[in-house]
Amino acid sequence: MFSLQSISSQIHEWLYGHLPPAFALLSEFFIVGMLMIGLFAFLGLVLVFMERKVSAYMQIRLGPNRVGPKGIFQTLADTLKLIFKEGLRPKNSDKFLFNFAPYLVMMVAMLLMAPIPFARNVQIWDVNIGVLYISAISSISVIGILMAGWSSNNKYSLLGAMRSGAQIVSYELSAGLAILSIVILTGSLRISDIVASQQTGWWIFKGHIPALISFVIFIIAVTAETNRAPFDLAEAESELTAGFHTEYSGMQFALFFLAEYVNIFIVTAIGATLFLGGWMPFHIGGWESFNHIMDYIPSSLWFFGKTFFLIFVIMWFRWTFPRLRIDQLLNLEWKYLLPIGLFNLLLMTIIAILGWHF
Amino acid sequence: MTLYLFYFLSFLAVLSALMVVVSKNPVHSVLYLIMTFFAIAGHYVLLNAQFLAAVHVIVYAGAIMVLFLYVIMMLNLNADTEPQKGKWLRVAATVAGGILMVVLVGALRSAADTLPVTAHDNQIGMIKNLGKVLYKDFMLPFEISSILFLVAMVGAVMLGKKEIK
């Protein structure tokens, strides 16, 4: 049976059998780094293409269909074009910060990849504070956005960065509370424990209505945190041209664009891990043969299937809802989502203490 | 290995803390301060206190410094619009700072003679142990400090509220 775990352990054994331990460790670092960069490039290409096709489908168009069969090489051609473009920099911008900001945003996205379980026992770093690490690192990305907006020396960029900052800082709370409710149910912050606790069923089914509420809050909050429509005030095209990355061109713009899509992948992967069981197959208690068939589907397929389903949901949001106004956006967070989230957390604690979940 | 990491992080922390003071642009100062916080978070990780490191990054680098950055970017501070301090004030500040440093050096000199603190339990920084200590041994101070935060929050809301006519 195909599984990522056996491949990785084979490579691990081969390396340690043929190389001194220090070199073997270094070459493993190298392999993991290369795989991450490869995954980034792949995700960028696939998700941009997926977004264009989904939007085309929702608007009854065909979407890209010229380059390659069904237009699947369209994003590759676009990337090539962006690589060959000249990177311009505004005259009075802050040179270092302007050039550094896209890399900071990318670095944050790369760091977030570390605790994500891609398949059974395939995880770069199973840190014991797992979900806390995720919320700590993801709170840094706003610094990169503020840096980009301020250093461009452009009022549209600055306004876009300010809006983005306000939005991310406020919606982080709701996302954190939603994550916390699952941590209460599991009793552990470690990602592998959270996945293992869903052996008998995913939390969204086992945790009754509070889990469902926190799932909905989580999806709304991460849509806002990744600055996507209907919360894309940070780059509202009709008001701010392109928000914080107005002045960027060429590959630097491409890095921001790539970071946006990679961030969508990361937050949906976290959502799939916490609420939909990560790589855990769909099990129904008591149905032994059914569970057995489900186990034959590789765990990596389960993980990517759930993640891409959530990505599709977030794209669905983008192409069906109109954009919110800034005051509506902040009201939604502070007056509705946050109180509901706090109350939900309390309810979840009661359920966890009394053991009412399955 | 840990020792080299310690030296690297300490060097980074001290250097970026110096740059906070030295750099002319206030936005650069804030960014250097964020770097200092990261170096300190690295120290916490070296002490096997990962929870503290994560909370440090969330609270300081993620929340407080973002608000700082926010305000400073909005203020548009420039050398020609801000009132400049006179020469005598700079001299006075240097003297005062120097005296403070002498006192600190004098105070910390004796610290070198004391024994290094060895944690009786190197797993104390793990979240489970930390939670037990906080909620068992230090229950009352912990709760009181959370009430303090609540008071600060209510106060901020009161200050931010529009006048009721």
Which are the contacts of B122, defined by CB distance < 8 A and separation ≥ 6?
Answer: B48
Question: Token digits for A261?
Answer: 């899509």
Confidence at residue B122, expressed as pLDDT on a 0 to 100 scale: 66
Q: Considering all CA atoms of chain B, what is the largest pairwise distance in Å, rounded to the nearest integer? A: 65
- Helix, strand or coil, per DSSP, at residue A119: strand
Q: Is residue A24 part of a domain?
A: no
A32 found inside a domain: no
Best mutation target, A111, A146, A186, A188, to test chain B (most B CBs within 10 A): A146
Judge contact between A355 and A228, C-beta under 8 A. no
Residue B157 confidence (pLDDT): 84
Q: Name which of B50, B61, B73 is nearest A140 (Cβ-Cβ).
A: B61
> Shortest Cα distance from B85 to chain A (angstroms)?
26
A281 found inside a domain: yes
- The reported pLDDT for the residue numbered B147 is 93
Spatial separation of the C-alpha atoms in residues A94 and A150, rounded to whole Å: 8
pLDDT at B121: 61
B54, B63, B66 member nearest A129 (Cβ): B54
In whole angstroms, what is the distance from residue B33 CA to residue B36 CA? 5
**Which element (helix H / strand E) includes A226?**
none
Give the residue among B34, B43, B55 at the shortest CA–CA distance from A141.
B34
Largest pairwise CA distance in chain A: 68
pLDDT tens digits for A95-154? Answer: 888 888 888 888 888 888 888 888 777 788 787 888 888 888 888 888 888 888 888 877
DSSP class of A60: T
- Tell the residue number behind the tokens 């970071």, with chain if given: A259
According to DSSP, the residues that pair with A122 across neighbouring strands are: A119
- Whether residue A130 is contained in a domain is answered as yes
Instruction: Give the Cβ contact number of residue A220 at 10 Å.
Output: 21
Q: Do B66 and A132 touch (CB under 8 A)?
A: no
Sign of CA dihedral A302, A303, A309, A313: positive
A114 touching B (Cβ < 8 Å): no
Here the ipTM equals: 0.79
Determine what percent of chain A is predicted with pLDDT higher than 70: 97
Helix (H, G, I), strand (E, B) or coil at B47: coil
Nearest C-alpha neighbor of B130 from the set B142, B140, B118: B142
Whether residue B66 and residue A139 make contact (CB cut-off 8 A), yes or no, is: yes
Give the rounded distance of the alpha carbon of B12 from its chain centre: 15
Which chain A residues are closer than 8 Å to B54 by Cβ?
Answer: 129, 132-133, 135-136
Residue A12: inside a domain: no
d(CA B72, CA B69): 5
- Domain assignment present for residue A76? The answer is no
Least confident of A5-9, A77-81, A143-147, B101-105: A5-9
Chains A–B, number of C-beta pairs less than 8 Å apart: 67
Q: Which of A128, A136, A146 sits opposite B69 (nearest CB)?
A: A146
pLDDT average, residue stretch A270-281: 85
pLDDT by residue for chain B (165 residues), tens only, comes to 778 888 888 899 999 998 888 887 888 888 889 889 989 988 888 887 888 888 888 888 878 888 888 888 777 666 566 666 778 888 898 899 999 999 988 888 776 666 555 655 666 667 778 888 888 888 899 899 999 989 998 998 888 877 665
- B127 with A97: Cβ contact below 8 A: no
Tokens of B79: 């050398």
Query: What DSSP character marks residue A3?
Result: -
Please give the residue range of the domain that contains residue A207: 88-354
Q: pTM of the entire structure? A: 0.85
Residue A155 lies in a domain: yes
Q: How many domains are there within chain A? A: 1
What's the confidence (pLDDT) of residue B76?
Answer: 67
| Residue A356 clears pLDDT 80, i.e. is over it | no
φ/ψ of residue B35, rounded to 5: -65, -40
Q: Say whether B57 and A147 touch across the interface (CB within 8 A).
A: no
Q: Is A97 on the interface with B (CB under 8 A)?
A: yes
Which of A140, A154, A168, A169 is most worth mutating to test chain B (most B CB atoms within 10 A of its CB)? A140
Count of beta carbons in the 10 Å neighbourhood of residue A178: 28
Q: Name the average pLDDT for chain A.
A: 83
Q: Is residue A156 a part of any domain in this protein?
A: yes
Residue A26 Cα, gap to closest chain B Cα (Å): 15
Which of the pair, B101 or A206, is modelled with greater confidence?
B101
Residue A220, C-beta contacts closer than 8 angstroms, at least 6 positions apart: A171, A174, A332, A337
A220-273 pLDDT tens trace:
988 888 877 788 777 766 777 777 777 787 788 888 888 888 888 988 998 888
